Amino acid sequence: MDSAALAGPTAVGTDPLPSWRPGAARDAVVAFVDRVRGADGTEPVPVEERVAVFDNDGTLWCEKPMPVQLDFVLRRLVEMVQADPALGDRQPWKAARDRDAGWLASTVAEHYAGDDRKAEVLMAGILAGYAGMTVEDFEQRSRGFLRTAGHPTLGRPYLECTYRPMVELLAHLAASGFTSYIASGGGRDFIRPVSQELYGVPPERVIGSTATLAFAEDGAGGALTHTPVPDLLDDGLQKPIRIWSRVGRRPLLAAGNSDGDGAMLDFAQRPGLPSLRLLLVHDDAEREFSYTTGAEAALARAGRDGWTLVSMRDDWATVF
Amino acid sequence: MDSAALAGPTAVGTDPLPSWRPGAARDAVVAFVDRVRGADGTEPVPVEERVAVFDNDGTLWCEKPMPVQLDFVLRRLVEMVQADPALGDRQPWKAARDRDAGWLASTVAEHYAGDDRKAEVLMAGILAGYAGMTVEDFEQRSRGFLRTAGHPTLGRPYLECTYRPMVELLAHLAASGFTSYIASGGGRDFIRPVSQELYGVPPERVIGSTATLAFAEDGAGGALTHTPVPDLLDDGLQKPIRIWSRVGRRPLLAAGNSDGDGAMLDFAQRPGLPSLRLLLVHDDAEREFSYTTGAEAALARAGRDGWTLVSMRDDWATVF
């Protein structure tokens, strides 16, 4: 249904990628899709092999000044302090209540420097914030937040912080017989309630991080709840593992923007089949943000590994 | 593609379930599907909510005298002894080499009695058998085995040991807008190579157990390999967790045959939506096998929890 709806522009022969500027990145995308479809005169790739995977934060939507989900969980921490003010003496609740951007920024900076002590404090608080909550309640909270909250500096709702050129690419792939998955380091169940509407990707095709879940039977549906036990983050070397677990195939296209996407991009290669690995470069301080922190290794290996760099500043006519 | 191919019988108005005998089980199946489609005059259930989950061993294909995958792994153990005869002094390689049905039977019996010491020895041997193997090599081995091996007593290839009434049910569901998943306690990657052909269920809709996997990057696709570390078995309370993780919805229909399917059947309920929970009863010693071991708790709760019992002997005109 979604792919039919999204197929419109291609079906009538108009440009499927109007927000992409002419250039090497756009040429690589068009040539890859044409090659897979056999539009270049070669043998088409079987439809069931046409699998694409996309990181979400910083690849499909804006992740600065903080990931959307961090805004979501900070509000939950504040809510917890309101219910139990004693929590406000401890981190991460204190930082959440005081809107202490410095503590959060140092947590991220220390994480990138290899020191995860504060990150673990933050993660433990987040897990406590949802422990015992059913997956249905979590879904409702996520949906409610995403439908109402806005970006802190861009002056637009979060749901309008997706990158238009990437949404066009997803639609072009769907119209070309691809099945696309979101392989996010962020929360799987956080994104699912809006993935169809934002990206044309249904909830069952969202892969991502999660708390460990627990099921308790009651003969009447049972309760599936979040526990305070962390599961492995869907990042770095875990991404190929989770993609295989979910899909049972290697993808032909992978798109990311950070070091945590490197393994996934590496994984998107099949003997004898075309592949496209896209690394989005955040170099557009005017329209979005300009940063390379957390992407240094990915940028360094892109040329050697045959990845296609996509410059937000140069390759995109429109960002949002 | 598969759903169109499978839709034939319903589309032309013929009986979609010719291998089911008239009776309460068949009536429950037909009434449920009609209710979901709105064929009974009620509001149809939205297509995206039409999710069904099926156990595999003993629900979609025969699991006696031993699960198909156990035959597969025993052959791998024998292969290991051939390469390294010293392994033959140790279990489980000794039992595999000597075709020691007694050791294997006692392992299963002790497992059901709550003593997993032998089961852990067997599992460690199995994990060692595939440690370091890439997922692609495992897939090739599984496909090769399933394409050639035959059932030890039924006189037919394993690929013809699927239950025809259940394959008809899967086709009827696909033709009725359902998306079906296989939620197997057995190995996910073992079944995937044949799931489309046997059941019309593509590999990405197979959920099941697996070894822990590891990814190693090499800039040229990387290697995704089995490790000797066990992951959680996709059984019992894990089934609802893995179904949610993969699908992001509760199913409306769940079918199983053992205690390990109880949580999954419980999970298949949604407020305000119809549901069908099927428990297959193996009571047909003549055409298949008659056994209740491992299903005692499920049989005891079926009536209380509103599950529909399907008697292989009484409800199925044809088994294979």
Mean pLDDT along residues B295-310? 96
Residue B142 lies in a domain: no
- Span B210-222, pLDDT tens digits: 989 999 999 899 9
Residue B151 lies in a domain: no
* In a shared domain, residues A102 and A167: no
| Residue among B195, B220, B224 nearest B212 (CA) | B224
* In a shared domain, residues A86 and A114: yes
CA A192 – CA A185 distance, rounded (Å): 13
Residue B245: HSE in the Cβ half-sphere, 13 Å Cα cutoff: 27
Report CA-CA distances (Å) from B108 to B90, B102, B186. Answer: 18, 10, 15
Share of chain A above pLDDT 90, in %: 87
CA B196 – CA A35 distance, rounded (Å): 26
* In a shared domain, residues A98 and A236: no
Q: Is A228 left (phi over 0), alpha (psi -120 to 50) or beta?
A: alpha
Mean pLDDT along residues A235-252? 97
- Residue A209 pLDDT > 90, yes or no? yes
**With 0-12 CB in 10 A as exposed, 13-18 as middle and 19+ as buried, what is B194?**
buried
Share of chain A above pLDDT 70, in %: 96
* In a shared domain, residues B29 and B79: no
* In a shared domain, residues A197 and A300: yes
- Residue B118 pLDDT > 50, yes or no? yes
Mean pLDDT along residues B87-99? 95
User: CB contacts < 8 Å between A and B, how many?
Assistant: 109
Mean pLDDT along residues B102-129? 90
Mean pLDDT along residues A76-99? 95
Reduced to 3 DSSP states, what percent helix, strand and coil does chain A have, rounded to the nearest 5?
50, 15, 35
- Span B24-71, pLDDT tens digits: 999 999 999 999 999 989 999 999 999 999 999 999 999 999 999 999
Residue A203 has its nearest CB partner, among B219, B238, B249, at B249
How many domains in chain B?
A: 2
CA A165 centroid distance within chain: 15
pLDDT value at position B1? 36
- Residue A9 pLDDT > 50, yes or no? no
* In a shared domain, residues B55 and B80: no
Residue B230 lies in a domain: yes
Domain boundary among A95, A130, A165: A130
Residue A148 lies in a domain: no
CA A249 centroid distance within chain: 20
Q: β-strands A223-230, A211-216: how paired?
A: antiparallel
Token couple for B211: 């070894």
Query: In this complex, do A237 and B214 lie within 8 Å of one another by their Cβ atoms?
Result: yes
* In a shared domain, residues B74 and B57: no
Q: Are B295 and B258 in contact (CB under 8 A)?
A: yes
**CA–CA min distance B219, chain A (Å):** 6
pLDDT value at position A35? 97
Paired residues of B290 in beta bridges: B283
- Residue B223 pLDDT > 50, yes or no? yes
Residue A245 has its nearest CB partner, among B179, B210, B241, at B210
Residue B271 lies in a domain: yes
pLDDT value at position B230? 85
Per-residue confidence at A224, pLDDT binned at 50, 70, 90? very high
**With 0-12 CB in 10 A as exposed, 13-18 as middle and 19+ as buried, what is A55?**
buried
Residue A151 lies in a domain: no
Write down the residue that tokens 């990405």 correspond to. B204
Residue of B nearest to A305 (CA): B219
Residue B149 lies in a domain: no
Token couple for B248: 């992001």
- Span B137-151, pLDDT tens digits: 999 999 999 999 999
Mean pLDDT along residues A280-298? 96
* In a shared domain, residues A183 and A37: yes
Q: Are A135 and A213 in contact (CB under 8 A)?
A: yes
- Span B225-260, pLDDT tens digits: 999 998 888 999 999 999 999 999 999 999 999 999
**CA–CA min distance B194, chain A (Å):** 12
- Residue A154 pLDDT > 60, yes or no? yes
Q: Which domain holds residue A188?
A: 2-61+157-315
Residue B320 lies in a domain: no
pLDDT value at position A230? 85
* In a shared domain, residues A209 and A85: no
* In a shared domain, residues B24 and B82: no
Per-residue confidence at A108, pLDDT binned at 50, 70, 90? confident
Query: In this complex, do A192 and B248 lie within 8 Å of one another by their Cβ atoms?
Result: yes
Token couple for B191: 């079944």
Residue of B nearest to A203 (CA): B248
3-state secondary structure of A72: helix
Q: Is the dihedral of CA B283, B288, B290, B293 positive or negative?
A: negative
Mean pLDDT along residues A240-260? 97
Q: Are A226 and A138 in contact (CB under 8 A)?
A: yes
Report CA-CA distances (Å) from B286 to A224, B19, B59, B211, B256. Answer: 41, 17, 17, 36, 21
Residue B204 has its nearest CB partner, among A214, A238, A248, at A248
* In a shared domain, residues A182 and A265: yes
- Residue B8 pLDDT > 80, yes or no? no
Which amino acid is residue A191, in one-letter code?
A: I
Query: In this complex, do A249 and B204 lie within 8 Å of one another by their Cβ atoms?
Result: yes
Token couple for A92: 């991460």
Token couple for B96: 């595999």
CA A198 – CA A143 distance, rounded (Å): 12
**With 0-12 CB in 10 A as exposed, 13-18 as middle and 19+ as buried, what is B261?**
buried
Residue of A nearest to B136 (CA): A249
- Residue B131 pLDDT > 50, yes or no? yes
CATH number, domain at B249?
3.40.50.1000
CA A68 – CA A191 distance, rounded (Å): 10
* Least-confidence region, from A41-50, A254-263, B10-19: B10-19
pLDDT value at position B3? 41
pLDDT value at position B203? 97
Interface predicted TM-score of the whole assembly (ipTM), two decimals: 0.93
